[in-house]
Amino acid sequence: MKLYSTNNPNLTVDFKEAVFNSMPQDKGLYMPVSIPAPDADFIGNIEKFSLTEIAFKVAGDLLQGAIPERDLNAIIEDAINFPAPVLRLNSNTYVLELFHGPSLAFKDFGARFMSRVMSYFMEEGEKMLNVLVATSGDTGGAVALGFLGVPNTQVTILYPKGKVSPIQELQLTTNGQNIRAIEVDGTFDDCQALVKQAFTDKELNEKFRLTSANSINIARLIPQTFYYFNAYAQLKREGKTDVVFSVPSGNFGNIGAGLLAWKMGLPVKQFIAATNVNDTVPSFFKSGQYEPKPSVATLSNAMDVGDPSNWVRIMNLFKDDLQEVKKVVTALSYTDEQTREAVPEVFQNYNYVVCPHTAIAWRAIADYREESGDYNSTAVFLSTAHPCKFPDIYEGNIADNIEIPGQVKALEGKSKQTVEIKADFNEFRKFLIG
């Protein structure tokens, strides 16, 4: 597998280098030189395959021999060991549950696959791998659990002070061992900027072997394609093949993976990018001017991103032609008030509890249908996190219907272990060096 930088198509590397040097020195992002389509027989009979079988086939096609089949199969069997069910809510509305992994968020797909790929490529005697990751909520917990105890690896997680839920914070700050957390007095965008700057700092790269566990790393994006193919397989078993996916979108890695699956040949009719008031992309769709802005704290905190990294990948897929993007992607944004209204509406309509991110994705379906007139397609909204991670937004009967998983109960009574810094690169740099 060969990958190129979005800033320089002539700069190509192999998969191993892209995994360990997650961001090119020219500050682009890595993309596959070629995006192979699975054979028509696979797509035509996809309903016959399990999630792990689909993952093995899709990963094998993308990686093109970068990992031998036997080893790749072992990685997938170990990493993707939890379900991603599609549940029917009514005749043409379904929810794809992506919170059945260890950290109760969709990020488990990427974090677990990536940690095992890195461990596979690590050679005896190599310098310790330093994994840097910025989180707006769920990434941190998934990465912490994905890398916990991995030999010769140290993980540093940066998160914005006061802007993640209490459970999210405990998930990323109570692990110990090779996991350390930094509480940044700033926003997620500040955390992300610190990580990106570290990758282009000469002294840090000479001293450490740095890589990223954010979705700027291609090894995070590849496994997220698996659940789109698997969702389509489940729908096809019910005779549903005219599919629209509504995706809660912050850093745009999740929908970016869906579009990569579409480029590979997955027959998706439309993607809906559903954001909160951090609406850089929906505004871009309206104005034609891409203008990143400081992120704003919301109820759907994992989507609080004002400058989404993966948008450059999506534009690259469409050769920077916004009009072509609009043929496949609809972008909509919602306020906290609309999010609060959507949660009880979903419960009243379906007796189903959604987290605030998922509520936004559900709400976007109704608006997409009204704007497009497409009421016949099967709409699937992605449920990206377990509702128990956001207890403050639920009341009464809805709160009573949330089952608390064992891994959350195990966090009770634990104390967070963090280091506090300002949103200042020199301070972050001193922490890493010292």
Sheet containing 129-134: which strands, arranged edge to edge? 209-212, 129-134, 153-160, 179-185, 418-422
Mean pLDDT calculated for residue range 23-32: 90
Average pLDDT of the residues of the chain: 93
For range 154-163, the mean pLDDT: 93
Our count of domains for the chain comes to 1
pLDDT-wise least confident of 22-26, 159-163, 383-387, 417-421: 22-26
What's the pTM? 0.91
Is 48 contained in some domain?
no
| Sign of the torsion formed by the C-alpha atoms of 19, 24, 27 and 30 | negative
* Residue 162 pLDDT exceeds 80: yes
Residue 137 clears pLDDT 80, i.e. is over it: no
Residue 38 domain-assigned (yes or no): no
Residue span of the structural domain in which 250 resides: 83-101+220-404
Res 226: pLDDT: 98
| Any domain includes 18 | no
- Residue 55: inside a domain, yes or no? no
pLDDT, greater one: 127 or 373:
373
pLDDT value at position 408? Answer: 86
**Is residue 197 domain-resident?**
no
CATH code for position 394: 3.40.50.1100
Residue 40's pLDDT is what?
86
pLDDT for 142: 87
The confidence score (pLDDT) of residue 374 equals 95
Residue 226 lies in a domain: yes
With respect to residue 386, please indicate whether it lies within any of the assigned structural domains.
yes
34-86 pLDDT, tens per residue? 999 888 899 999 999 999 999 999 999 999 999 999 999 999 999 999 999 99
What backbone torsions phi and psi does residue 172 show, to the nearest 5 degrees? -105, -5
Q: What is the pLDDT of residues 163-195, one digit of tens each?
A: 888 888 999 899 888 999 999 999 988 998 999
Q: Which of 104-108, 113-117, 206-210, 362-366 has the lowest mean pLDDT?
A: 206-210
10 Å CB burial of residue 103 (0-12, 13-18, 19+) is: buried
Higher local confidence (pLDDT), 379 or 136: 379
Q: Would you list the DSSP string of 320-361?
A: T-HHHHHHHEEEEE--HHHHHHHHHHHHHHHS----HHHHHH
Q: How many CB atoms lie within 10 A of CB 293?
A: 12
Residue 151 has pLDDT above 90, yes or no: no
Question: pLDDT band at 434, cuts 50/70/90?
Answer: confident
Q: Which residues are catalytic?
A: 107
Q: Which two tokens stand for residue 70?
A: 């036997």
Which residue is associated with the tokens 């967070």? Answer: 416
Average pLDDT over residues 385-414: 89
Within-domain flag for 47: no
State the average pLDDT over residues 364-389. 96
